[in-house]
Amino acid sequence: MTVIANGIGLFNTVVTGWIFNDVQSSVKASVKDPALFPKIAELMLLVIFLDFLFWAFHGPSRLIERKNAFLVRHNFRRDLLSKVIDLPIEWHKNHHSGHTIDKVNQAADDLHDFAGSIFQIVENSVRLFGATIILLFFDYRASIIALSVTILAIIMMTEFDVKLRRMMLERNKFKNHMAAAIQDYITNIYTIITLKLKSRVMREVEDRSWAFNDINTKINRVSEIKWFSVSMMISVMVAGIIILNTQESIAATGTVALGTLFILYRYLNGVGETFYNFAWRYGEILREHASILSTQAIIDEHNKLSPAKKASLPIRWKYLEIKNVNFTYSREEDGETITTHINDVNLRLSRYGRIAFIGESGSGKSTMMSLIRGLHFTESVELFADGKQLPKGLSHLYNHVTLIPQDPEVFNSSVHDNITMDTQVGGHNLKKVIKMSQFETVLKRLPFGLDTNVMEKGVSLSGGEKQRLALARGLLAAHDSDFLLLDEPTSSVDSTNEMKIYENIISNFKKKTIIATIHRLHLLQYFDYIYMFDKGRVIAEGTLDQMINNPQFKDIWDRYNTTTVR
């Protein structure tokens, strides 16, 4: 439809040229021509009709194109976000969320701009080649020269754009770096204000901004040289052909047909303008392509993932054995590289059992939980169900497990949406998890109850209250899971509420296997079996009564009971 519309639009110039020629002929004849006015009126009506036909095709085409642009952005963002979520936790720890957010949003918006402006590419192509063809009927040499100059200009522009493409990719890295800094500072605004770090923050943003300006200046310089070269080439072409045609027309007839000269000029100038627009749009495509290309690293990383292993546990399993677990990974923390190891760990998980992991920070408890949940992966492991080895290792567990982490993540939404995450939940189940997490007392003081936006001005949740909110969300998500993993989700909750929470979980989730990392040892009374970790190894295990007789455990047990007031 866009091709037809712009093909029709090309003939407006021809009709206008005919009008000029008729007027010139009438003036030259010095005789009143009664047919001149009706003829001009007919030609002007033809111009209006051609314009109507143009919009009859162009309008619907643009509506379709804009809808398509929306769908392209929607599907691209959804697909890319899905890939980001699929990537392992280790990848997310090594890639700043600000970089990722900026890449996803910028690429999606630029893809939308590209899909919504394809009509410009079609329009310029039709006008460029259409004008060249029409010129053949007025001056074939003009057509040949215009085509030759166009080809030469394309070659020259390509040379510039190869260099520009490289610089645009580099510029996008600076933009991502800047976006990451701003997100960091705004996200951690409380620290910035309380420690009076504004001047340092502004200096860092200023430095990153100037670093971005350097590459931007280089791009602008090369771009302007490119446009100057193209513009001068087109101007010389138009002027040269008009001068040549005028000279030959005067030599042959002693006069110049204004309409023909107008047609020639408009189409030649149109070729120049069209090519100029085409070159500008190509430059925009390069920029959009650079943004989209910056997300290729995410796509490549996702492609490296092994195909999801569809594995599950036997329906009537009684106990599981996780044997010979070995795993190593490194992470950056406060500028230091911290390496975590899991070495030859063996676990036995009874169905509906209550298992506690204890040990110092960094001993491997949380890492072991992340392996069970599938947040990290290892091939060095064996999984047995009732003595029979399962071929796909820990992947048999992934779809059966819900992990509730220590750090609560609160979304900019209502309490209701923070708990349900926009899933359809019955009122009974919602009230149940709110009660289990001891969030009822917090809910009563919120101005709009479940409809309160937790980020609203005047709504302030403490660290423990945020943990209880996140815990309610996790308990609701665990409704259909066979395993509930609790990685210290109550570390900031007061001791009284914490004990009630564990009592609620144990009493309401009797048909689930519960594994919890525990620092407050008085909670061990709720668990059937205990594993004590140290430096990535299990150094002791047993029931609470058995562990009290273990010298390594007894030492920390006695110290805890001596120093802790409950």
Token couple for 332? 């950056």
| Cα 378 to Cα 364: distance, rounded to the nearest angstrom | 14
Q: Say if residue 182 is in the same domain as residue 277.
A: yes
C-alpha 456, offset from chain centre:
26
Q: Which of 248, 274, 303 is the last residue of a domain?
A: 303
Greater confidence (96 vs 438) lies with: 438
Q: Is residue 315 part of a domain?
A: no
Closest listed residue to residue 279, CA positions, set 127, 164, 148, 124: 124
Give the pLDDT mean for 378-387. 93
Q: Say if residue 216 is in the same domain as residue 341.
A: no
**Bridge partner residues of 319 (DSSP):** 350
- Backbone dihedral angles phi then psi of residue 541, each to the nearest 5 degrees: -155, 160
Give the pLDDT mean for 407-411. 84
Confidence at residue 22, expressed as pLDDT on a 0 to 100 scale:
55
CATH number assigned to the domain comprising residue 336? 3.40.50.300
Contact 489, 404 (CB under 8 A): yes
Above 90 in pLDDT, residue 381? Answer: yes
- pLDDT band of residue 332 (cuts 50, 70, 90) is low
Q: Is residue 310 part of a domain?
A: no
Listing from the earlier edge strand, what are the strands of the sheet with 388-390?
336-350, 319-333, 382-385, 388-390
Least confident of 264-278, 343-357, 395-409: 264-278
Give the pLDDT mean for 482-511. 94
- pLDDT band of residue 343 (cuts 50, 70, 90) is very high
Q: Is residue 314 part of a domain?
A: no
Q: Say if residue 262 is in the same domain as residue 345.
A: no
Q: Is residue 121 part of a domain?
A: yes
Above 80 in pLDDT, residue 280? Answer: no
Above 90 in pLDDT, residue 425? Answer: no
Q: Is residue 309 part of a domain?
A: no
Above 60 in pLDDT, residue 335? Answer: no
The residue to which tokens 């410009």 are assigned: 120
Give the pLDDT mean for 314-320. 93
- 149-156 long-range contacts, CB within 8 A, separation 24+: 149/233, 149/234, 149/237, 150/271, 150/275, 152/233, 153/230, 153/233, 153/234, 153/275, 153/279, 156/229, 156/230, 156/233
Q: Is residue 28 part of a domain?
A: yes
- pLDDT band of residue 161 (cuts 50, 70, 90) is confident
Give, in degrees to the nearest 5, the angle at Cα 376 between 373 and 381. 80
In this structure, the dihedral spanned by the alpha carbons of residues 365, 369, 371 and 375, taken in order and rounded to 10 degrees, is: -120
Mean model confidence pLDDT for the chain: 81
Confidence at residue 58, expressed as pLDDT on a 0 to 100 scale:
76
The residue to which tokens 């901004």 are assigned: 209
Q: Say if residue 401 is in the same domain as residue 272.
A: no
Give, in degrees to the nearest 5, the angle at Cα 507 between 506 and 509. 65
**Domains held by the chain: number:** 2
Q: Say if residue 290 is in the same domain as residue 419.
A: no
Q: Say if residue 217 is in the same domain as residue 363.
A: no
Give, in degrees to the nearest 5, the angle at Cα 337 between 333 and 341. 105
Q: Which of 242, 273, 303 is the last residue of a domain?
A: 303
Listing from the earlier edge strand, what are the strands of the sheet with 401-404?
401-404, 483-487, 513-517, 354-358, 529-534, 537-542
The residue to which tokens 């091709």 are assigned: 3
Q: Say if residue 506 is in the same domain as residue 546.
A: yes
Above 70 in pLDDT, residue 204? Answer: yes
Confidence at residue 254, expressed as pLDDT on a 0 to 100 scale:
66
Q: Say if residue 151 is in the same domain as residue 46.
A: yes
| Total number of residues shown for the chain | 566
Above 70 in pLDDT, residue 40? Answer: no
Q: Say if residue 524 is in the same domain as residue 411.
A: yes
Least confident of 143-147, 262-266, 419-423: 262-266
Q: Say if residue 273 is in the same domain as residue 346.
A: no
Task: Please state the three-class secondary structure of 210-279 as a single string.
Answer: HHHHHHHHHHHHHHHHHHHHHHHHHHHHHHHHHHHHHHHHHHHHCCCCHHHHHHHHHHHHHHHHHHHHHH
Greater confidence (152 vs 435) lies with: 435
In this structure, the dihedral spanned by the alpha carbons of residues 432, 438, 444 and 447, taken in order and rounded to 10 degrees, is: -100
- pLDDT band of residue 566 (cuts 50, 70, 90) is very low
Q: Which residues contact 136 (CB under 8 A, 6 or more apart)?
A: 143
Confidence at residue 25, expressed as pLDDT on a 0 to 100 scale:
55
- pLDDT band of residue 291 (cuts 50, 70, 90) is confident
Q: Say if residue 292 is in the same domain as residue 435.
A: no
Q: How many CB atoms lie within 10 A of CB 15?
A: 18
| Cα 536 to Cα 556: distance, rounded to the nearest angstrom | 18
Helices (H), 116-197: 118-135, 140-187, 189-194
Give, in degrees to the nearest 5, the angle at Cα 477 between 475 and 478. 65
Q: Say if residue 348 is in the same domain as residue 294.
A: no
Confidence at residue 135, expressed as pLDDT on a 0 to 100 scale:
67
Contact 358, 521 (CB under 8 A): yes
Q: Is residue 154 part of a domain?
A: yes
Domain coverage including residue 327: 320-563
Confidence at residue 468, expressed as pLDDT on a 0 to 100 scale:
94
Q: Which of 303, 336, 360 is the last residue of a domain?
A: 303
Above 90 in pLDDT, residue 356? Answer: yes
Closest listed residue to residue 433, CA positions, set 391, 394, 404: 404
The HSE-up count of residue 26 (CA atoms within 13 Å, CB side) is: 15
Q: Is residue 275 part of a domain?
A: yes
CATH number assigned to the domain comprising residue 24? 1.20.1560.10
